[in-house]
Chains A and B, each alone.
Chain A
Amino acid sequence: MTSRLKQVFAGSVFAAIASITLFSVILFTLLGPSLSGWTAEEVDWDALETPPDDRHHLGTDLVGRDLFTRIAEGGQLSLGIALLATGISVLIGVPWGALAGYVGGRTDQWMMRFVDTLYALPFILVVILIVVVVGRNTWALFAGLGAVYWLDIARIVRGQAIRVRSAAYIQAARSMGASTRWIVIRHVLPNVAGPAFIYATLTVPGIILAESFLSFLGLGVQEPDASWGVLIADGTASMESAPWTLLFPAAFLATTVWSLNLLGDRLRDAWDPKRTRT
């Protein structure tokens, strides 16, 4: 475990930079609102659309709200949604994939055909349909995103489950008369947990992007709440007179996704011996 973690950081300054960036962003989103001296909805009538200065470290938006605070709180929301939705996709995808892979045969065929059918739909379609059905609220977003992203995890886990199915310890458990339920819970799930965890870390940046995309279009997080996607949409509307309202939230989103992508990739490479060679 530790040697593999070392491998994630060995020979690359980028992994270190990404971890430090990610840590700083998380710290900023958690502490930012209390450091700025402004609340996210507070209007500073003396500073409408002002560039960064001593009073507002990242400037203010069209109606004089402090961007530093709004980006920090937006980050809490964006990261929080991503973590929760990833959790949902793991909760659906892991048991689904483990059961399909372990049981095999016709059950597997049907379970995976279902996955393939959903896969054929572009993600945006599914999420937008779910948002239209459930209404525009943050919970619909969780459901929609979780309902899409479990597919990948189910596929990965199924592959792993097929691999462990013929392992000696599972045959031993079966010959002792253990039930399928028992074997899946006690033997299959723990053995597919590693790859599932790694894949989940790669899912987080994907969900951050998806959430910001939906919020940007007005289909995700709603005002007065603001995720990074909402802030980027606001910034797009006022970029001509106040470019910083677009550039700051965009920079936060991009660096966060960059760090998460990089760490996720290196984590996957460290655990997958086939990938390390090339």
Chain B
Amino acid sequence: MINRLGALGVTFLVIVTLIFGLLRLAPGGPFDGERALPPEIEANLRAAYHLDEPLPQQYVRWLVNLLQGDLGPSFSQKDFSVNELIAEGLPVSLLVGGLALVIALITGVIAGTLAAQRPGGGVDGIIMSLVNLGLAIPGIIAAPVAVLVFAILLQWFPAGGIGSAAHYVLPSIAAALPYSAAIARLWRGAVVESLQEGHVLTARSKGLSEWRVLWRHVFPIASLPLVSYLGPLAAGLLTGTVVVETVFELPGIGRYFVQAALNRDYTLVMGVAVVYAAMILAFNFIVDITYRQIDPRMRLES
């Protein structure tokens, strides 16, 4: 456990250093606008943001600030610090991402269970066709088409912005769609496989109800591959939230990230990248521990 926490810390440090190194290698700076600034002004600006110091010094300064939770000022949004922007945007992103995660898990598990009941049957055929369709429709299609159909044509939901619960319906469904399909496929395979296990046959022959067999004997085994998929899923949902934040004009950190990348706002890009990396690492860590808890074989090993 201590070992794992240490490894987590090292990985985080490596990633943070990579992020810093990559962005400092970048040609061009945040002050390269349409018009060149007078050299004295640019020198002042660079000094104000400590860009005139040698690279190692900048790195140490950034790292020390980072460990104190200070991500520095934003280059492009002059009146805000990166902390303020992230504090403002993170709740929105987490809400959309969390809702999408729940939607993807619930719909995916239900569809996968239904399809696994009779592999090769009619229901399976229909569900798997829908799954294949869902896998081919990325967020950049699902989100605008959802706006077109449900906000512009049918006017059931608002087309963008935040304010009420209704504002979050379309974004979270659009972000969830491809992952709901991926989970359905994974879950179907896992359930089909564990239905063939000996102990499931035994449970059936003892006369347990179908539901009890599934719940007590099939799902626990089938959940193992699903749990290990949660890591990639979180990373994928993050991508999804970036798209829906852009399409639905939600003020989340994904939109800041894209804007900052377009504007070469180093500090904001680094800040959001660090937050993303920290979230993914923490999530993977929790998943890893959960996996060990539910798989008795892994508990024996450690």
Interface residues of A (CB under 8 A from B): 117, 120-125, 128-135, 205, 209, 212-213, 216-219, 229, 232-233, 235-236, 239-240, 243, 246-247, 250, 253-255, 257-258, 261-262, 278
Contact = CB atoms under 8 A, between A and B. Distances in A.
A107 B234 CA distance: 30
Count chain A CB atoms within 10 A of each CB in B141, B192, B281 and give the residue with the most. B141
Contacts, number: 120
Interface string B144-156: 1101100010000
A217 B135 CA distance: 20
Interface stretch (B70-78, B203-211, B238-246): B238-246
Interface in B8-23: 11, 14-15, 19, 22-23
Contacts of B2: none
Interface string B274-288: 001100110010000
Interface in B179-224: 189, 192-193
Nearest to B27: A135
B133 A258 contact: yes
Given A132-B269, A133-B22, A254-B137, A122 B148 contact: no
B176 to A, nearest CB: 16
Contact of B189 (A134, A218, A278): A278
B106 interface: no
A128 to B, nearest CB: 5
B276 A213 contact: no
A131 B22 CA distance: 10
Given A122-B276, A122-B280, A246 B145 contact: yes
Count chain A CB atoms within 10 A of each CB in B19, B132, B139 and give the residue with the most. B132
Nearest to A129: B22
A236 B247 contact: yes
Contacts of B273: 125, 129
B238 A122 contact: yes
22 contacts: A120-B15, A120-B284, A122-B236, A122-B238, A122-B239, A128-B257, A128-B258, A130-B22, A132-B22, A132-B261, A132-B264, A133-B23, A213-B243, A216-B243, A217-B246, A217-B258, A229-B140, A232-B144, A236-B144, A236-B247, A246-B144, A261-B132
Contacts of A255: 136
Contact of B11 (A117, A122, A278): A117
B60 interface: no
Contacts of A262: 132
Given A236-B144, A239-B152, A278-B192, A125 B276 contact: yes
State the main secondary structure of chain A at its contact with B.
helix
B277 A254 contact: no
Contacts of B251: none
Contacts of B276: 122, 125
Interface in B63-110: none
Contacts of A253: 138, 141
Count chain B CB atoms within 10 A of each CB in A217, A219, A258 and give the residue with the most. A217
Contacts of A134: 26
Which 9 pairs of residues, A with B, have the shortest CB-CB distance?
Answer: A258-B136, A122-B235, A236-B144, A257-B136, A216-B140, A133-B26, A250-B141, A124-B239, A254-B136
Contacts of B148: 239-240, 243, 246
B15 to A, nearest CB: 6
B243 A250 contact: no
Given A217-B243, A239-B144, A278 B193 contact: yes
Contacts of A124: 235, 238-239, 242
Contacts of A209: 138
Nearest to B260: A132
